[in-house]
Chains A and B, each alone.
Chain A
Amino acid sequence: MAAQEFVMQVWRGDSSGGAFKEYRIPASEGMVVLDVIHAIQAKHATDLAVRWNCKAGKCGSCSAEINGKPKLMCMTRMNSLDTSQPISVAPMKTFPIIRDLVTDVSFNFEMAKRVPSFKPRPKEADGTYRMQQEDIDRVQEFHKCIECFLCQNVCHVIRDHEENKKHFAGPRLFVRYAALEMHPLDTNDRRELLKERMGLGFCNITKCCTEVCPEHIHITDNAIIPLKERVVDEFYDPIARMIRKITGK
């Protein structure tokens, strides 16, 4: 039987601390978690802070932890949850809390600034660039990213080890690095940077980033592991190195 009302446990607080507060909202069909949060704002807590924008899973603003799982609030239907129990909604754990469900995600933008930009090879004689569809199919997947930072949030490298934020770009940024490294026109080589200062080796490919990505980007299989293999080509494969030296490639 569908629940008559939803019992929600919503985190209220700021950087100094807080608590889960219980709210009850009449259930209606088709509601997503963000609808329920809006209903709480309208009826019980007009000061409840929540970030959202599109309500369509495309702006990446409404990331939160619903019953402990990192998800977009606007894409999580209430009927996908066990509403016979209270539903907890908490802010992303990895980033500093500003207030209630809103966190400061500037870490991700700082890391984005450090990505060496696209550097295309010289144009062809007729002044154009030429690429075929199959050359860019692979990187197209990476461009689906909506920057919700759920992957950054769930990654245990920084979620549980704050000190690693200094030298770990994180899965969202690895997706960006992969898009550039695999680009058929790009000439920048970011492998040493990835190995030495962006912490690619900290990732132990436990795949939580892939599990939470709302765009279903195969972050680990298609971005991180191929990047790790490219780093191996350059730094950990003596035979490949020797062949490169001999052939001059």
Chain B
Amino acid sequence: MIQFTNVFKRYESGHEALQNVTFTLHEGEMAFLTGHSGAGKSTLLKLIMRMEVATRGHVTIDSLNLNNLARRHIPYLRRKIGVVFQDHQLLFDRSVYDNVALPLVIEGMNPQDIGKRVRAALDKVGLLSKEKLNPIMLSGGEQQRVGIARAVVNKPPILLADEPTGNLDPQLSAEIMQLFRQFNAVGVTVLIASHDLDLISRMGLRMMELSQGSLKQDGAYA
């Protein structure tokens, strides 16, 4: 469960990226975060990841208050959250397999189990045949799916995505969204930042709209 209570975020530059944001995303729920560019979508996701800290108010994950989270506990928070980035943040010095295996290596899983999990995740995103390739040889859509495989390989209870379809054509975008729905269907809490209103409207899910850092609208897509 993700809970924001009167959250403000002011960057060092003085810019108020979030203002008085309050919402609750329940366990197993799936929602979209929309808004114009610069509305604060990425900032909101970064607060959940504890890449940034709220200036005022509280961000709570599973009753864990992130404001008071000690630095040494941050890695364990992040292991519970799978993240998909617009620029997918893959490492081009290693294979697709090694990219997807990374979260499991970090957790210290033994190599046999890692093999099973990685192949299951790659199978899920339809890239099992490409595990040995370097991600640089893949298309944009495939790279994005590698990023998704890496985000879900350790079966995190929460999945975040920041503009995951930003660079993709509508067909690929729809496929990626279907993937997220499938993860949600098995109980993962999913929050996706996107300004692709067309796509979102067709999904018929909860939508939160940010405008100038404030939550302007929250509810099922009208």
Do the two chains bind? no
